């Protein structure tokens, strides 16, 4: 009788090897351009404010347009990827990202055209982010899932945001704001790499019954077991009739779905409200444009360490919920402090603390959202979650713009952001343990893997 092999268990217990390192590099590069394009709009506003003369409300629209596109793209990718495959949708989104950058650099000459093109660019980004999270969570060894996912995802995202700030300082002074988008068009190189190398999701292929491709990918992941995959009977997840949105509120998912929808909404309200408006607020307080860009870059540098620390804590505490709550509640103190402190080392420390805490909590939330659902509904669940969360991201810059119209005092801006972070921290405490595909689908064999095997999942492969 052929040996039964569960594809999800093979992914969850695989030792960390060359496949994971190459995969991390590709996903990290994708997230680099995701972060670069996500945050560079904030550096355009101070450069075009005199020539275009947008009102605070119109600035809010310019900053929010891309996030509105993110919301649409997030929902679309979930509906498409669960049916037609993660790979096709992600590769198409990367090519669209390159095209949108070129149009912004070559064509746009005013605030309305800028907002429209940012919406299209956001549509591409909205498909990229949840697909990368789905890929990372399906291919990562279970024992080090939080650390691996947050390092790859957050490091790439944050480095992209940092480079957006550096491009704003060093390129725009000579070549104009369009230089930001000429640089963004280099994402076409990553699109080529993904077209040539990006694998399809093993669990998606198993659901579709493409077991020949599953065997080939498992052999590439774990070459020492290739002989087994040639003859083994593959155990695959049950096929869901449709990845319907209503399934996300089934009893098994309802509690965590509602929690991470609310927390994600509030979290992105803070993230995009802060990163979108901080350069403009700094300039309004009398600082040079270069100083405004430096503060934006500081947030992204701090976010790298925040994401790494949060991922380690989530693994150490074995609780994403506690880690998220702690990050958001500490962010409250940093946001409130920024409202009353202006300039000097204290502002530098508070900006860094805000970036560290809010992005660290967001990084763990991303992983929490992905691991809430079984494989057959994960793409839809993550896409809908990210789409709804982006509504908070849309409202963040827009609400801050309205507040800026009503009062020039930044205190009110930071108090609103602090209140949102406080609610996010309190609501996150209501979250329960997530349901992972590996745990549920591999329940019959999970008891066979003791702590020694689990620790080995994160050890370097001898190959």
Q: Residue 244 — pLDDT band, cuts 50, 70, 90?
A: low
- Whether 23 is covered by a domain: the verdict is yes
What are the residues whose beta carbons fall under 8 Å from the beta carbon of 268, sequence distance 6 or more? Answer: 67, 362, 389, 390, 392, 393, 396
Q: Tell me the residue range of the domain where 414 lies.
A: 4-438
Counted domains in the chain: 1
Dist CA 283 CA 9 (whole Å): 53
Query: What b-and-e string marks burial along 185-207, b requiring 16 or more CB atoms within 10 Å of the CB?
Result: bebbebbeebeeebbbbbbbbbb
Work out the average pLDDT over 167-173.
Answer: 84
pLDDT, position 120: 94
pLDDT, position 239: 53
Torsion of CA 287, 291, 295, 300, to 10 degrees: 160
The predicted-structure confidence for 348-367, as pLDDT tens digits, reads as follows 999 999 999 999 999 899 88
Residue 118, Cβ neighbours under 10 Å: how many?
27
The predicted-structure confidence for 17-36, as pLDDT tens digits, reads as follows 888 899 999 999 999 999 99
- Whether 444 is covered by a domain: the verdict is no
Q: Measuring CA to CA, which residue among 429, 287, 453, 460 is closest to residue 365? A: 429
pLDDT, position 288: 67
Q: Residue 289 — pLDDT band, cuts 50, 70, 90?
A: low
pLDDT, position 243: 52
- Whether 443 is covered by a domain: the verdict is no
- Whether 351 is covered by a domain: the verdict is yes
Residue 453, pLDDT > 70, answer: no
The predicted-structure confidence for 429-443, as pLDDT tens digits, reads as follows 998 876 653 343 444
- Whether 30 is covered by a domain: the verdict is yes
Mapped to the 3 state alphabet, what secondary structure does 53-86 carry? CCCHHHHHHHHHHHHHHHHHHHHHHHHHHHHHCH
The share of the chain scoring above pLDDT 70, in percent, equals 90
Q: Residue 421 — pLDDT band, cuts 50, 70, 90?
A: very high
Q: Which residue has the higher pLDDT, 419 or 447?
A: 419
Work out the average pLDDT over 321-350.
Answer: 92
pLDDT, position 7: 80
Dist CA 288 CA 294 (whole Å): 10
Place of tokens 């999800």: 8
pLDDT, position 462: 38
Residue 445, pLDDT > 50, answer: no
- Whether 291 is covered by a domain: the verdict is yes
Q: 60: domain CATH number?
A: 1.20.1250.20
pLDDT, position 50: 73
Q: Are 347 and 341 in contact (CB under 8 A)?
A: yes
Q: Are 86 and 135 in contact (CB under 8 A)?
A: yes
The predicted-structure confidence for 39-93, as pLDDT tens digits, reads as follows 888 788 788 877 888 887 888 888 888 888 888 888 788 778 877 888 999 999 9
Q: Residue 377 — pLDDT band, cuts 50, 70, 90?
A: confident
What are the residues whose beta carbons fall under 8 Å from the beta carbon of 397, sequence distance 6 or more? Answer: 59, 60, 63, 64, 67, 272, 273, 276, 277
Work out the average pLDDT over 379-403.
Answer: 82
Kindly report the length of the chain.
463
User: DSSP secondary-structure letter at 407?
Assistant: -
Dist CA 209 CA 306 (whole Å): 40
Residue 104, pLDDT > 90, answer: yes
Sign of CA dihedral 159, 320, 278, 405: positive
pLDDT, position 446: 38
pLDDT, position 89: 94
Residue 379, pLDDT > 90, answer: no
For the chain, how many helices (H) and strands (E)?
Answer: 22, 2
- Whether 169 is covered by a domain: the verdict is yes
Q: Over the chain, what is the mean pLDDT?
A: 83
Dist CA 293 CA 461 (whole Å): 42
Residue 242, Cβ neighbours under 10 Å: how many?
12
Residue 225, Cβ neighbours under 10 Å: how many?
15
pLDDT, position 237: 56
pLDDT, position 32: 96
Residue 242, pLDDT > 60, answer: no
- Whether 454 is covered by a domain: the verdict is no
């Amino acid at each position: 009788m052929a040996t039964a092999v569960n594809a999800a268990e093979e992914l969850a217990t695989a030792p960390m090897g060359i496949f994971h390192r190459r995969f991390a590099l590709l996903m990290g590069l994708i997230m680099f351009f995701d972060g670069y394009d996500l945050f560079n709009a904030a550096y355009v506003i101070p450069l075009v404010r005199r020539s275009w003369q947008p009102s605070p409300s119109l600035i809010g629209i310019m900053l929010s347009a891309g996030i509105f596109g993110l919301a649409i793209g997030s929902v679309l990718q979930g509906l498409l990827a669960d049916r037609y495959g993660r790979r096709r949708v992600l590769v198409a989104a990367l090519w669209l990202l390159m095209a949108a950058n070129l149009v912004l650099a070559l064509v746009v000459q005013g605030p309305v055209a800028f907002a429209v093109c940012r919406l299209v660019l956001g549509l591409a980004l909205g498909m990229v982010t949840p697909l990368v999270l789905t890929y990372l969570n399906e291919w990562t060894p279970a024992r080090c899932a939080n650390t691996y996912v947050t390092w790859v995802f957050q490091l790439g995202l944050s480095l992209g945001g940092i480079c957006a700030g550096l491009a704003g300082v060093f390129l725009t002074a000579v070549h104009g704001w369009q230089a930001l988008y000429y640089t963004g068009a280099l994402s076409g190189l990553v699109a080529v790499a993904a077209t040539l190398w990006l694998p399809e999701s093993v669990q998606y292929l198993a659901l579709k019954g493409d077991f020949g491709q599953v065997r080939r990918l498992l052999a590439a992941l774990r070459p020492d077991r290739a002989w087994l995959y040639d003859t083994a009977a593959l155990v695959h997840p049950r096929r869901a009739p449709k990845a319907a949105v209503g399934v996300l509120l089934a009893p098994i998912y309802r509690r965590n779905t509602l929690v991470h929808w609310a927390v994600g909404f509030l979290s992105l309200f803070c993230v995009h409200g802060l990163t979108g408006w901080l350069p403009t607020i700094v300039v309004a307080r009398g600082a040079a444009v270069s100083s405004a860009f430096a503060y934006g870059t500081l947030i992204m540098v701090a976010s790298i360490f925040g994401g790494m620390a949060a991922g380690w804590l989530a693994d150490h505490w074995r609780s994403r919920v506690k880690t998220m709550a702690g990050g958001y509640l500490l962010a409250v103190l940093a946001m409130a402090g920024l409202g009353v402190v202006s300039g000097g080392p204290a502002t530098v420390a508070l900006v860094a603390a805000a970036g560290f805490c809010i992005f660290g909590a967001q990084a763990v939330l991303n992983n929490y959202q992905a691991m809430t659902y079984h494989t057959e509904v994960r793409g839809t669940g993550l896409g809908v979650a990210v789409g709804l969360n982006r509504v908070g991201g849309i409202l963040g810059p827009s609400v801050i713009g309205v507040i800026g119209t009503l009062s020039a005092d930044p205190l009110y801006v930071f108090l609103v952001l602090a209140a949102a972070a406080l609610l996010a921290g309190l609501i996150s405490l209501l979250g329960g343990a997530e349901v992972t595909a590996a745990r549920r689908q591999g329940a019959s064999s999970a008891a066979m893997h003791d702590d020694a095997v689990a620790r080995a999942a994160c050890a370097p492969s001898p190959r």
